[in-house]
Amino acid sequence: MTAPKDIFLPSLDRELGSIHPINQVKDQLTELLKSFGFEVAEGPEVETEEYNFDMLNIPASHPAREMHDTFYVDNKNKLLRTHTSPVQVRCMLKDQPPLAFISPGKVYRKDDDSTHLPMFHQIEGLYVDENVNFAQLKDLMYKICHSLFGETTKLRFRPSYFPFTEPSAEVDVLFGDKWLEILGCGVVNPKVLENCKIDSSKYSGLAFGLGIERIAMLKYGVNDIRDFYKSNLDFLRQFK
């Protein structure tokens, strides 16, 4: 005798999930940079002021070190990292050049609007060797942006300021008739190399940092960064 069917049992036909769009972009960028010879390095998300600021030539008076910008978790001795640059510091302290690695991961800042979140993802890269220069940096930035957005993509480099690089630049990409900021980069400040026990008279380096959510918004035409984290299945199904 066949048992009666229980109409209250949940269906076994379940929808298969997929990789979140932020992880899709992170994985794409990671594989691209690995193909250029970069290794992947990781580090703690709870950092000290020494690694997050001091070693990177960020002075005590810098606005980023204020309570309204940074999440402190231990009376200003420990904090949630504001960038993945402390991973670069740890790697430089551990090994001597040549060094080439990227540090993807979560970072935390007190921002919250349609284009910023208090938690977001970065990929930062560092290359240190003899005779590294800005021309090599520009070539790498063109390769990254052309791989992401197509070979015909137009770039411009705007002079900027970062304590840990000199000279420094913001890179903009032309979308339609608008220039949109895509990443920051520069030649590693000799003070940072010296802080990490690397001879700046012999070695130089290049560094860059990309916000993964920013790249995903541009690639997928998303106007509000918060949509990535609302768990709206109708939104997420678009990226299968």
pLDDT value of position 65: 66
The pLDDT-based confidence of 112 (bands split at 50, 70, 90) is confident
For the chain, the farthest-separated pair of C-alpha atoms sits apart, in whole angstroms, at: 87
Segment holding 132, helix H or strand E: none
Q: Which residue in the block uniquely carries the two structure tokens 């290794």?
A: 39
Domains in the chain: boundaries: 21-239
Distance CA 18, CA 48 (A): 36
Q: For the stretch 186-207, what's the b/e string if a residue is b when 16 or more beta carbons lie within 10 angstroms of its beta carbon?
A: bbbbbebbebbebebeebbbbb
Q: What pTM does this model have?
A: 0.86
CA 186 to chain centre: 15
Residue type, 207: A
Q: Please tell me the least confidently modeled range out of 4-13, 62-71, 184-193.
A: 4-13
Which CATH code is given to the segment(s) 21-239?
3.30.930.10
| Arithmetic mean of pLDDT, 100-129 | 90
pLDDT band at 67 (very low <50, low <70, confident <90, very high): low
- For helices 212-220 and 134-149, angle between their N-to-C axes, nearest 10 degrees: 40
The SS3 of residue 136 is: helix
Query: For the chain, what percent of residues have pLDDT higher than 90?
Result: 67
Averaged pLDDT of the chain: 90
Each residue's pLDDT tens digit, 28-44 = 999 999 999 999 999 99
Beta carbons within 8 Å of 10's beta carbon, 6+ residues apart: none
Give me the pLDDT at residue 129, please.
97
- Encode pLDDT of 78-103 as tens digits: 999 999 999 999 999 999 999 999 99
| 236 against 67, higher pLDDT | 236
| Two tokens, residue 72 | 């402190």
| Extended strands (E) in 69-216 | 78-80, 99-108, 119-129, 155-162, 165-175, 178-188, 204-211
How confident is the model over 199-228, as a mean pLDDT? 93
Residue 174 pLDDT class (50, 70, 90 cuts) = very high
More confident call, 177 vs 74: 177
Give 150-168 as a DSSP string. -TT--EEEEEEEETTEEEE
